[in-house]
Structure 1
């Protein structure tokens, strides 16, 4: 133990020394959170040493490359607000239960994934989100990778996806893998898994366990195993945000506040919403927003939405400012401005090129703030400085986004307004669930469509093969018949010759 403690100290010292002498590869430096872990968390450094069999130089190299990757990938900055929420909710990857070693299971449900059906960079970010979340929940303990391959076929075998998973364990999450449990792997995928095994280091090969319903109990308790695995658990996956798992505070009360980070790194506390926009409507409201839901539609080559802001006071000059949780996705025109008493203006929000409309907007939020001001003739720079100088106290209105192609958007809005009067918080959550279900149905529709196309191609190939086989058989039979006739003809000729000689 003393030797391990000394190695941890040496690894820390060598890393910090290299950082001082060479500097980080990125001019902006490594992420401060990772540097803090290196300085303060012995357990994290010990994992690098254990992963590399306590070889100090190899551990230093891996630690350096891990910090470089985390900075470049933005690992520490991944939140639910900048992820594809529909990817997290569709159940391809999720965490449930634990193995018999007490390690959390990270489950990959193969039959729900088809190569190319999802944007791979976004899928990578979702995987890293789960790895980081499980590290936090398990205090850095190992996890077991569980491939649920029941009912999976060749179309579900994504080698790039699997290689990425293995690469995370191998290169950036040291000593993090307990077991690789492969449940009911179809025989047609045997060749693929031989390739996958070649990507693993030699000491990881024994961690692979091929199981079925009869022997899964050796690695997962039957009370934890799902019924589809032959176990007793009736668990059905539903994505639960990480902050909702730890809602109970020390006094046993539930804290429903949720942090949402808007542009300019300004965290705002978002209360559970009772209407579409979660507006702060009271007798002292100064700003009115129409509509309460930011709806995006395609107009020409742009995808945009508009909102109308109105100063509903008769004696106050207002300044407004608009922030978003995803500044990289949206362009707001204008994002700040001044409204005279009773004045109204229209703000346009444009979705930046390169971002997909469908399924993307459900997690995005906009914050509209306003404050009374005395000088109505501020320049744009003075207005920017004004908002930098003000503290708390601004009136806030929160807006959620939706895609405008949904024909029943007005019905949903009316239903939401009615339900908000009777059920409050439950309304917005049920609406979010409805849009999530629509997104999942679209994904499944696309999957079924792709599978039907694959079946049609296979049927066409089968028909062609049958025709070719029939032609070959006819050709072979024809040759056999002709050879038989020729042999019979030669035999008769030989008999005639013999009779003549006699």
Structure 2
């Protein structure tokens, strides 16, 4: 029976990729979308044909699904600041432990990303957020190193137990490939999964899209050679490769992105200078020195060989020969973005006002003003609440700033849109500067543009501790020549008090999300069951050990009793004088043993 079709980039035409590119670039022209997309990803969409084709293949050649995947991916990349990730932004302890590593290749030539389950520990709260950042770092790193080629994920379950099962972590890993890194998985190899994890695997399998089920391969030491050649199979897997992970910082550094081609820095200049139609016939950017060449030829010849060995019922998942950066797919179904609003994504400060923002000086003046009780109602369709400062700025999310209690350092974007005909200067004051970090705390918004101010709780400050605090937002119209001529301190000193408008914003903890509460509850229940099973397993092992010891003592006791009985019989035999009789006497002559009745042998 044939499985669902998994498309590859070789199935995507240049015209389909160009259509997706045009639609994406038209979408990011809108300011409300552009603020949530990193400039480098906009450049990549223009210059990287392969990236667009990967989204088309990931969306089953349907442009609507591909577009949704692409938008979700770039928003995720912006939220997690993927383009700015460096080795220093990740906890070094995770690298040293070696939970994740990249080494060797499978029989399809895909690089092997190894997850050592026995080294993983379940974490919660802030540390779990750091673990997820570490995972994003590795996936981004291998995508850059492989230049868009597919990879194979190995789940090494050897020596793993229930204490290593982490459903939230596995769910996040699955979502990375299902939603944000398109067409990247060649296969999922599960090595020596213990029977005790069958229940956990059923939960994990439900998270996987149906198409990916055919990518899963369960192997052990006997048959791992069917998916990984012996020279790339580790010795502990039953192969010939003696490699073992050792942390070296130079091996874990994030390489520069190879997908941007020849362009200016993404953070400077306008991104409207390249035509949306360009790139449909553009070649993939050439690899950095030492990264292309022979490897490209190897990948091409391997693709040609695989095409001839492919069984007729298997879905086609390999790239055409000679296409250097053609990655194999994961063929997934569309799943909704896990974030409910665009405002959950961190955004960049408006490019037109970036010079003024860089000159801006942080202000954190104290203000004891009382809270303004008026606030806007929620808009239909679940949109964010908004408020206005006169006819100068539109504020989102309104008069109440809600901080999530489950974030690493709870943060919230405050979006300011200029609805005035002239530039508007703004600054943010705080009643408790030691509890908050505001970036930028002042600046200028050009007419019709918007700026995102990030409000973040200081390290160690919980959302409940900030409930009674307030922000004071001050805005005033300015002339373009004022912005060009002076810094922010000078601008505010020259502004008369009558043109300044104020809006007070109050802090509040974000309401608990029912789905998140349910997931947490299920996770806690699973952890509780896992702990009980672990205790039961330890108890059964202890009973088995005691049973074996008891058996050994019983055998030894029986042996001692038998030996004593034989010794006693021998002594009785010696003391009876039977040894002095002849054979004839023993056979036919009655005799008497002291203490015993006469009998005839």
- TM-score (norm. length: structure 1): 0.50
The structure, 1 or 2, with the larger RCO (C-alpha pairs under 8 Å, 6+ apart) is: 2
Q: Could you say which structure has the larger radius of gyration?
A: 2
| Higher-strand-fraction structure | 1
| Higher-helix-fraction structure | 1
